[in-house]
């Protein structure tokens, strides 16, 4: 699809200290999407300057708030700019812009309002075994706590229609936002689906990834957030 065909779509990237790879990520996205916004979540390096030079619209959190907070900022900004569709995209180079286009297909056809990337169904071999186990636990946790039926609830590659984006209100600033997004989509009553995607694990992305022990904190954050909402 040409840049013009994807004129109605904004790629939303939350970034924290990604100056090493962000230019490449933006360049790849901008081959297919004209509108890319990077939310610099209080980085201590030159992520903001590099992202801007690479052609992205940039916003900066003056203090680090977490990926969930940065994504909501990006989503709010993109909607302000009139985005008809939005795609959340990781800043560490794990995602493929071609997959982002494939996520848009059900949205454009009106078959769904939210599309989640699924790295476990077809491409599970590319996911390290330990991470695969953790992700499957996360799926069971999501099913148990909110009834969300997804194979991969914690994939950063997601696409939303404008209507769905307007209903989202990410209040969990940290990594529990992924469960919160899935929960809110499920509770909205709108149609959602999954599309198989590929994940590229690099030394850089593995280093930036969550430790397995963080899973307990994320689950706790999510449960407390649900009680207080």
Rounded to the nearest 5°, which phi and psi values hold at 159? Answer: -130, 145
Site for other proteins in 200-229 (CB under 8 A): 228
Q: Which of 20, 22, 186, 10 is CA-nearest to residue 90?
A: 22
Sole binder of other proteins in the list 124, 171, 191, 193 (CB under 8 A): 171
How far apart are alpha carbons 74 and 30 in whole angstroms? 17
Instruction: Pick the piece of the chain touching other proteins (CB under 8 A) from 14-22, 29-37, 146-154, 176-184.
Output: 29-37
Site for other proteins in 36-95 (CB under 8 A): 39, 52, 55-63, 65, 69, 72-73, 76-77, 80
Min dist CB 130 to other proteins, Å, is: 31
**What burial class does residue 209 get, using C-beta atoms within 10 Å of its C-beta: 0-12 exposed, 13-18 middle, 19+ buried?**
middle
Task: Please say which residue, 87 or 138, places its beta carbon nearer to other proteins.
Answer: 87
Under the criterion CB under 8 A, does residue 108 sit at the interface with other proteins? no
Q: Which of 184, 182, 155, 183 is CA-nearest to residue 168?
A: 184
Which residues contact other proteins (rule: CB under 8 A)? 1-4, 30-32, 34, 39, 52, 55-63, 65, 69, 72-73, 76-77, 80, 98, 101-102, 105, 171, 173, 228
């Amino acid at each position: 699809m040409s840049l013009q065909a994807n004129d109605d779509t904004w790629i939303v990237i939350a970034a924290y200290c990604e100056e090493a790879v962000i230019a490449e990520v933006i360049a790849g996205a901008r081959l297919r999407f004209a509108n890319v916004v990077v939310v610099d979540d209080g980085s201590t390096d030159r992520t903001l300057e590099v992202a801007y030079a690479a052609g992205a619209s940039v916003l900066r959190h003056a203090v680090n708030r977490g990926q969930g907070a940065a994504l909501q900022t990006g989503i709010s900004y993109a909607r302000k700019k009139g985005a008809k569709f939005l795609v959340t995209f990781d800043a560490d180079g794990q995602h493929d812009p071609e997959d982002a286009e494939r996520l848009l297909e059900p949205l454009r056809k009106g078959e769904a309002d939210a599309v989640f990337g699924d790295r476990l169904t077809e491409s599970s071999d590319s996911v390290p075994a330990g991470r695969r186990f953790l992700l499957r636990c996360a799926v069971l946790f999501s099913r148990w706590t909110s009834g969300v039926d997804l194979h991969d609830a914690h994939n950063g590659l997601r696409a939303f229609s404008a209507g769905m984006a307007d209903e989202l209100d990410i209040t969990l600033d940290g990594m529990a936002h992924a469960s919160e997004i899935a929960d809110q989509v499920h509770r909205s009553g709108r149609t959602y689906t999954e599309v198989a995607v590929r994940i590229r694990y690099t030394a850089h992305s593995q280093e930036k990834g969550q430790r397995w022990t963080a899973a307990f904190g994320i689950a706790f954050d999510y449960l407390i957030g649900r009680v207080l909402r």
